[in-house]
Copies of this chain bind each other. A is one copy, B any other.
Amino acid sequence: MSGEDNLLKLVEVEEPEEHDYLLQEQVGFILRKAHQRHVSIFAAHIGDLTPPQFAALAKLRDVGETSQNQLGTLIAMDAATVKGVIDRLKARGLVELSKHEGDKRRLLVNLTAEGRDAIERLIPLAREITRETLAPLSAKEIATFMKLLAKLA
């Protein structure tokens, strides 16, 4: 467990990491693929809402009325991005907008009754999506993975 490893180390140390760069072994590439797979699983269960749209509704359910910018911060979305997401949810009657009294810059967002119904209805599906995404891992692996993934995010 030690002699051979040390020998290898002595040899390899000569040329560190010259020509080999394998794209398919880089975190970024695999991270992108894992994300793709999740989005695909999401779409298979929840066809008429995207993950960002779902995130917005789910977070509004948690925190209630907030400003558009604040909501963006909570769901890790750029101001420009969150605007588009909220616009589409508004067009579908799932959220409603109002002006903040006292601060005329702020645009308040909240769930409509329909939006609240929708998110409550979708949450069980979201649990299943999480389950299916993590299905290749054992319970213990899931715990480990989530801990490490959280460190990276």
Contact = CB atoms under 8 A, between A and B. Distances in A.
Contacts of A130: 26-28
Given A32-B76, A153-B30, A21 B148 contact: no
A79 interface: no
A98 interface: no
Contact of A26 (B37, B126, B141): B126
A106 interface: no
Contacts of A151: 136-137, 141
A51 interface: yes
How many A residues touch the partner, as a band? Answer: 35 or more
A148 B22 CA distance: 18
Interface string A140-153: 01001110111111
Interface string A105-144: 0000000000000000001001101100110110001001
Nearest to A27: B133
23 contacts: A21-B127, A23-B55, A26-B126, A26-B130, A27-B134, A27-B149, A28-B38, A28-B42, A28-B130, A29-B75, A30-B149, A31-B35, A33-B76, A34-B149, A34-B152, A37-B152, A37-B153, A134-B152, A141-B148, A145-B148, A145-B149, A148-B148, A149-B149
9 A-B pairs closest in CB distance: A33-B153, A34-B153, A145-B148, A136-B151, A23-B58, A34-B152, A28-B38, A21-B123, A30-B153
